[in-house]
Amino acid sequence: MAITSPSTKIWWNQPVSKTELTWIIIAFLWGLFMFFMMIYWHGAGEQNLSNEAYRIRPEVFAERTQAMVDAYTVREEAGFPVVHPPPGSDIYLIARLWQWWPILELEKDKSYRLHLSSMDYQHGFSLQPVNINLQVHPDYELVLTLKPNEAGEFGVICNEYCGIGHHSMIGKLYVVE
């Protein structure tokens, strides 16, 4: 019975039954298998984006973003600059209460290095409908290689609660042929 204490207080010195030992071995081997499959899924399955993160002061990140906007703005849309940088370049996107700035216009099947940072609070970068989800932190620059493979308009949504205007923190990303 489980209500009374065991007859032997030192239970770990008792022999383990064959059935229980078999299940422990199966669980251990399954855990090892899943651990190594995570490495496989990351590389071959393209389950997660490989990225880099660096400490950066918000002012420095804002200056780099502004330089990109000044050099590559092609038009304005609802008061936001639409930036069309050349393929292979570093592109910058700022998260701040409650907007993504600027709007990026990228070319299909071309590679870019996307730099993300927050000017104020933690935000979540969610590219829809592609379902890329990343955490964007203040004082850190998250860098990832992006190669869009289909043209269209994509939504950038904050999926980390960032205050009263969180529900309106929606940006755009265009991919052109």
Which tops the pLDDT comparison, 5 or 56? 56
Which tops the pLDDT comparison, 8 or 113? 113
The answer to pTM > 0.85 is no
At 129, list the tokens: 């409908």
Which of 120, 119, 61, 132 has the alpha carbon at shortest distance from 91?
Answer: 61
pLDDT tier at 74 (50, 70, 90 boundaries)? very high
Residue-wise pLDDT tens digits, 78-134: 999 999 999 999 999 999 989 999 999 999 999 999 999 999 999 999 998 887 889
pLDDT greater than 70 at residue 1: no
Tell me what the mean pLDDT of segment 18-44 comes to. 91
Tell me what the mean pLDDT of segment 166-175 comes to. 94
Which tops the pLDDT comparison, 10 or 88? 88
Residue 42 CA to residue 49 CA, distance in Å, equals 8
At 102, list the tokens: 């600027």
pLDDT at position 106 is 96
